[in-house]
Amino acid sequence: MKKLITNVESCKSCKYCEDNCPKDAIKVNGKINSKGYPTVVVDEEKCIVCGICYNVCPDYVFEIHECEV
Amino acid sequence: MVIKSKPEACFVDNKYCPGCGHGIINRLVAEVLEEMGEEKKAIGAIAVGCASLMPDTFGIDCIQAQHGRAAAVAVGVKNCRPDNMVFSYQGDGDALAIGFSETMYAAIRNDNITVIFVNNGNFGMTGGQMAPTTLEGQRTTTSPKGRDIMATGAPLNVINLMKTLDVAYLARGSVDGNANIMKTKKYIREAFEAQKNKEGYSFVEVLSPCPTNWNKSPQDSMKHIRETVVKTYEMGVYAERRGDNA
């Protein structure tokens, strides 16, 4: 099963992922990271792991992993 | 098991402002070079400006060129090491203002290098001054009432100039949204392929947001590219000669 992994320490709150997510699964209102930016939160119920967030992110926050169920 | 993650070359967090397009373009260059298996042999000539933040966080060999001279440095490197992929990575202030002569003469000579040109419409690192690519009416710190084209001339569309020359590949992409990022990656790939096939000069312009100096949020900056910037700088492939080893 594919899973979206987020490295929130890299996040700079630009919200490109929130804008481009086709399923509205990403919100940038998570806890504040060490750089001082609110970070991304992924709703795993809605996420279809399409990888668009990976593509639009300037800060390499997202990774897609294959996980065992 | 990792299916998709950042390229190895982007080994630490980049130093750009939030929402800067350079981060995406750095990743596209690294991805393309890794897909072509050239990442160990590629050499980049890096411009002065925001582009000069790239070598600190980019795991591919780079040379910091003097202001505006990245294309000339890239030509020199390519002449010494013709089997290595050589690219220059430049912003609009560097490539079209101070380095216009170097950029154009590399194109006129049809030197076998790839130029990645990031167009964000101002001199970003020095505080958002007017650049040759600044749009008509756009406010910058040196044109606070908006760019007056009667006084400063029209925005410089360099691809229109290069179209008249004998070059291998010319394209303009953008980083606004997933579809355009995918297209830009394809253009960068084709530009490097042209270099690999010894076709000659390849040039990819990428429209990029500068939220800090445009005084807009990152989202509004992308909207500005979609609605305004592309009217002056139309995207697409302007020249290619596939399979012609001239």
Cβ separation B20–A58 shorter than 8 A: yes
Quote ipTM for the complex.
Answer: 0.95
Q: Residue B245's pLDDT is what?
A: 52
Matching residue, tokens 């003469």:
B105
Which two tokens mark B208? 């990029």
- Strands laid side by side in the B2-4 sheet: A2-6, A62-66, B2-4
Cβ separation B177–A56 shorter than 8 A: yes
Q: In chain A, what are the domains?
A: 2-66 (3.30.70.20)
Instruction: Encode pLDDT of B124-162 as tens digits.
Output: 999 999 999 999 999 999 999 999 999 999 999 999 999
* A11-25: b (≥16 Cβ within 10 Å) or e: bbbbbbbbbbbeeeb
Interface of A with B in 45-64 (CB under 8 A): 51-52, 54-60, 63-64
Chain B residues bordering chain A (beta-carbon distance below 8 Å): 1-6, 10, 13-14, 16-24, 27, 177-178, 181-182, 211, 217-219, 222
Question: Which chain B residues are within 8 Å of A54, Cβ to Cβ?
Answer: 4
Q: Residue B159's pLDDT is what?
A: 95
Query: Residue B31 pLDDT > 90, yes or no?
Result: yes
pLDDT of chain A along its 69 residues, tens only? 889 999 999 999 999 999 999 999 999 998 999 999 999 999 999 999 999 999 999 999 999 998 887
Report d(CA B145, CA B79) in Å as an integer: 46
Query: Residue B187 pLDDT > 90, yes or no?
Result: yes
Tell me if chain B has a CB within 8 Å of the CB of A42: no
Instruction: Encode pLDDT of B189-225 as tens digits.
Output: 999 999 999 999 999 999 999 999 999 999 999 999 9
Span B162-175, average pLDDT:
95
CATH topology of domain B22-240: Rossmann fold (3.40.50)
Question: Which chain B residues are within 8 Å of A59, Cβ to Cβ?
Answer: 13-14, 23
Nearest CA-CA distance, residue A60 and chain B, Å: 6
Task: Please list, in sequence order, all residues whose beta carbon lies within 8 angstroms of the beta carbon of residue B32, skipping any fewer than 6 positions away.
Answer: B185, B188, B189, B192
